[in-house]
Amino acid sequence: MLVRRISYYDEFICLQGACPQSCCKGWRIPLDDRAIRRFRKEKGLLGLELKLAMHGKAQPSFSPYCIRCPFLRLDGRCDMQLRKGERYLADICRVYPRIIACPGPYAELQLDLSCVHVAELFLAHADAQYFVEEESDAEYERTGDNEDMEYLEMLGKSRDELCSFVIAAADAEALDAALRKLAAFGGRVQDRMMREGISEAEALAEGAELLKSEATDLPCFPLPIALLNDLMSTDFYQDALRYVLPFLYKLCKMYYRHFDKLSYEQGEKELQRMFAKYIAEKPQRVHMYAAYYKSCLLRTYMECYEDYSFLKHILLGVIGSNMIMLFDLLWHEKYGKTADEDLAKIISVCERRIYHNEAVGKEMMKLLIKRSDGI
Ligand code: SF4
């Protein structure tokens, strides 16, 4: 089987006890059916611990209140893995942060930036994100139901095109224009395919034409402060973050302390000032934001093969890039620099909140569409 691995895939090794932002804290851990059967059969002390740890009848999970996995030891290592080995763990614990997609004749292996170490690897390879292809004996379970191979191929080409389009943006203005065009592309392709029923080939070709035309007047990067403020006012920020994702809580507090006392007009001027100052000091940062957007496309765009939600996948990347940029600016303003390890933590918590909390991502996306009067 043809296997494509993201260029830095093999470099990932879990930091375990040395991880500054363990994935065993801050979210619910859903269990797969095989793990549930295995855990229910377990006898003795571990059996009792598992029974106490599993919450919910139909589809039990660990850590239902998103605080921490009960098997996470004080030294940051997994107690269950140490006692029973990696194979015993639930699928999600064994596979995370790897993303394995097998839509048909090939498999794609990528890494999830919600893991802080993956975010560090991304930053080290921001300029070199590509797939390494090889024929492999490994077999991967088919993901999804669509069997339209022609559409799959078209979608792959479309993703390559969008990735090179966004990464070509040399400065902030060009990145803004590129994201505006991508948003228009997503809206048009989705509408034409889903509402008007035209063929995938036609819709994608029409969309590609939009990339050559004038950008719409919807600002995409940076988003206006009024819109960023609205996004912050969704469930993205909650008091419970203090316990669930303390680093994101700290970032949100930094935002409110900085902008709360300002009117929208003053806030917009302040955002523009911070952005211009930062980009003047670190012009290459724009390239990192573009590379982050590219990584969103690489990881999620092919989901359109199953869900046809072009706009969703394009806008979530716009939201993610903007939230990361906002916190990057605030951090830099406060501490005089954003080291890569801090930026990796910023990326990781934003990814957790936007991409791994479906309700939050959906709410933010709807708001973006509404505030921009549709796309
Ligand atoms: S977040 Fe990543 S590096 Fe940290 S414990 Fe989880 S998998 Fe390991």
Give 77-104 pLDDT, tens digit per residue: 999 999 999 999 999 999 999 999 999 8
Atom of ligand 1 nearest to the CA of 14: 8
- Domain shared by 233 and 360, yes or no: yes
Contacts 24+ apart (CB under 8 A), 289-292: 289/175, 289/221, 289/321, 289/324, 289/325, 290/166, 290/167, 290/169, 290/175, 290/178, 291/122, 291/126, 291/127, 291/129, 291/167, 292/122, 292/126, 292/320, 292/321, 292/324, 292/347
The share of the chain scoring above pLDDT 70, in percent, equals 98
How remote is the CA of residue 114 from the centroid of ligand 1, in Å?
9
Query: End of a domain among 95, 122, 156?
Result: 95
pLDDT grade for 314, boundaries at 50, 70 and 90: very high
pLDDT grade for 148, boundaries at 50, 70 and 90: very high
- Domain shared by 91 and 214, yes or no: no
Residue in the block written with tokens 């940029």: 325
Query: End of a domain among 95, 119, 144?
Result: 95
Work out the average pLDDT over 105-113: 96
Atom of ligand 1 nearest to the CA of 348: 1
For residue 130, pLDDT over 90 is answered with yes
For residue 375, pLDDT over 60 is answered with no
Q: What is the pLDDT of residue 198?
A: 93
Beta bridge pairs of residue 4: 108, 133
How remote is the CA of residue 151 from the centroid of ligand 1, in Å?
35
Q: Is the CB of 338 under 6 A from ligand 1?
A: no
Q: What is the pLDDT of residue 374?
A: 46
Residue 45: inside a domain: yes
For residue 275, pLDDT over 50 is answered with yes
Q: Is the CB of 22 under 6 A from ligand 1?
A: yes
Number of domains in the chain: 2
How remote is the CA of residue 12 from the centroid of ligand 1, in Å?
10
Work out the average pLDDT over 341-368: 95
- Structural domain span for residue 353: 205-371
- Domain shared by 223 and 363, yes or no: yes
Q: With contact defined as beta carbons under 8 Å apart, do 132 and 10 qualify? A: no
Q: How high is the mean pLDDT of the chain?
A: 94
Pairing of strands 61-62, 131-135: unpaired
Residue 167: inside a domain: no
| Tokens representing residue 195 in the block | 């509402």
Query: End of a domain among 70, 95, 120?
Result: 95
Residue 120: inside a domain: no
How remote is the CA of residue 358 from the centroid of ligand 1, in Å?
21
Whose CA is closest to 353, among 226, 245, 260, 259?
245
| Tokens representing residue 265 in the block | 């007009």
Residue 224: inside a domain: yes
Name the residue of 11, 14, 82, 92 whose CB sits within 8 Å of the most ligand 1 atoms, as the mutation to test its pocket: 14
Residue 3: inside a domain: no
Residue 19: inside a domain: no
Q: What is the pLDDT of residue 104?
A: 87
- Domain shared by 240 and 366, yes or no: yes
Q: What Cα–Cα distance (Å) separates residue 272 from each residue in 260, 269, 374?
A: 16, 5, 25
Beta carbons within 8 Å of 181's beta carbon, 6+ residues apart: 165, 210, 211, 213, 215, 216
Residue 63: inside a domain: yes
Residues written for the chain: 375
Q: Is the CB of 350 under 6 A from ligand 1?
A: no
Q: What is the pLDDT of residue 373?
A: 62
pLDDT grade for 50, boundaries at 50, 70 and 90: very high
Q: Is the CB of 23 under 6 A from ligand 1?
A: yes
Residue 328: inside a domain: yes
